[in-house]
Amino acid sequence: MNALIYTSKAVDSFDSPEIYEMLKDARIFNKEHRITGCLLYHQKQFIQLLEGEAKEVHKLYDKIAQDPRHESLSLLMEERMTSRIFYDWNMAFYEFGDPEEDVIFKKHQLNTFFDNSKLFTRSSKTGLLFFKSVRDLLSKN
């Protein structure tokens, strides 16, 4: 089992309806390839944690790297894991909405969201980096 975290920026023409269409396709692909994870979106920035067999996770990451709707793709971390953090989620997704929303409110949303994962009950450097990176992203306004 492998997990990786990456960040990317949505190109200007990649808007919400297209993102939700991409998400629909991703959920189908991920289910077929036994990939789980979490994708968060805020101010044109994506951060995603992917989990699954190394070959499948790398195949998906390469596919994302070739997607012209993403730019500034950056691999933050990769780790071997014994179990999944997002076991039941073939692609959890959350869009944090209005960039002017209160940071404290966004962090509360994030805490609620992650409470439904296994992030705090399984030891994972990748999971902790993911959580920290998301908090950093939400703090930028």
- So what CATH class is 2-139? alpha beta
Q: What is the pTM of this model?
A: 0.74
Mean pLDDT in order along the chain per 10 residues (141 residues): 92 86 88 89 85 95 95 93 76 58 60 58 69 70 52
Within 11-140, strands assigned E span 36-42, 45-52, 70-80, 92-95
Q: What is the pLDDT of residue 85?
A: 79
Residue 34: how many CB atoms within 10 A of its CB?
14
